[in-house]
Amino acid sequence: MIGSFFRVAWHVMRKDLTVEVRSKEVLLTTLFFAVSVVLVFSFAIVREGRAPDDVAAGILWVAVSFSGTLAMGRTFERERYNDTLRALLLAPADRPAIYTGKLLGLLVLLGLVEVVLVPLVGLLFNAPIFAFPGRLAMLLVLGTVGFAAVGTLFAAMLVRVRSRDTLLPVLLYPITIPVMIAGVRGTAALFQQTPDLAMAQFWIGLLIFWDAIFITLALWTFEPVMTE
């Protein structure tokens, strides 16, 4: 039974990624948007040619958050446009498995965006991204998972709602701000002049805790909210 769960999730993820690989639409637009966000914030914050200290972490996570929200909206918009979501839900597959598949697809997408964003931020702000790569990677992965777990659920919930484009950020941001705070403060602790490893460890611990709670809650609620 666990086997079939992961098989279904894998197939849903593969479907999403196959569609994406063909057109690359969501990936490229999301990537470009993320880079634009970084640049806009840089221009807003840089003074006399220098950015204040500690902004790199904040800008990185803001870019992830904004572009992630767009990506979620777009992937489910595609389902709505082709009316394939109903087909998915009608399939004799475990609903939480469908959720997991969509979540994994989104994570791959956001992972690719972050692979570009992190070096960009490191370049523009002289942030030491290679100083503690393991911890930095953990923060990014855990933060993105927490953010995407809630976002996939909400984006799926809102698929048939009229003002879904504005409602998704309105619903998503207050609930995922703790995850964002953990991500930003943990990354800032790693990027600062004298890196505070204990602090980074602390935020990583907190992220694990939140991710566990959010994913479990999302798996529980996906089924009842998606039924008519």
Partner 1 sequence: MTKLNPLFIGLSAVMLGMAPWVINAAPYESTMGLVQKVFYFHFPSAILFLVAALICGVASAIFLFGKKPRADGWAIAAAELGLLFGTLTLVTGPLWARKAWGVWWVWDPRLTSSLLLWMIFSAYLLLRRYGGPGSDKLGAGMALFGMANVPFIYVSVNVWRTLHPQTSVVPTLPTEMGIPLWFCFAAFTMVFVTLLNLRARLEHQRARIEALYLAEDEA
Partner 2 sequence: MTRICRAMLMVTALIVAAPAMVPMMTVSAMQPPPQSEFVPVEDVPPGEQIPAFTMLGTAYGFVWVALLVYVWSIARRLQKVEAELADLESRRK
Nearer to partner 1 among residue 128 and residue 223 (C-beta): 223
Partner from partner 2, partner 1, none binding residue 94, C-beta < 5-8 Å depending on class: partner 2
Minimum Å gap between C-beta 145 and partner 2 is 13
> Which residues in this chain contact partner 1 in the complex, by CB under 8 A?
150, 153-154, 157-158, 160-163, 167, 170-171, 173-175, 177-178, 181, 213-214, 217, 220-221, 224-225, 227-228
The beta-carbon contacts of 13-22 under 8 Å, at least 24 apart in sequence, are: 13/101, 13/102, 13/104, 13/105, 13/108, 15/101, 16/75, 16/101, 16/102, 16/105, 16/106, 17/105, 17/108, 19/78, 20/105, 20/109
- Indicate whether 89 belongs to the interface with partner 2 (CB under 8 A): no
Q: Distance between CA atoms of 179 and 158, rounded to whole angstroms?
A: 21
Q: Which does 212 bind (CB under 5 to 8 A by kind): partner 1, partner 2, none?
A: partner 2
* Nearer to partner 1 among residue 5 and residue 223 (C-beta): 223
Of partner 2, partner 1, none, which one sits near residue 157, judging by CB under 5 to 8 A according to partner kind? partner 1
Is the Cβ–Cβ distance between 180 and 69 less than 8 Å? no
CB of 199 to partner 1, least distance (A): 12
223: tokens are: 């089924």
Q: Which residue from 23, 8, 29 is spatially nearest to 74, judged by alpha carbons?
A: 29
Site of interaction with partner 2 (CB under 8 A): 1, 5, 94-97, 198-199, 201-202, 204-206, 208-209, 212-213, 215-216, 219-220, 223
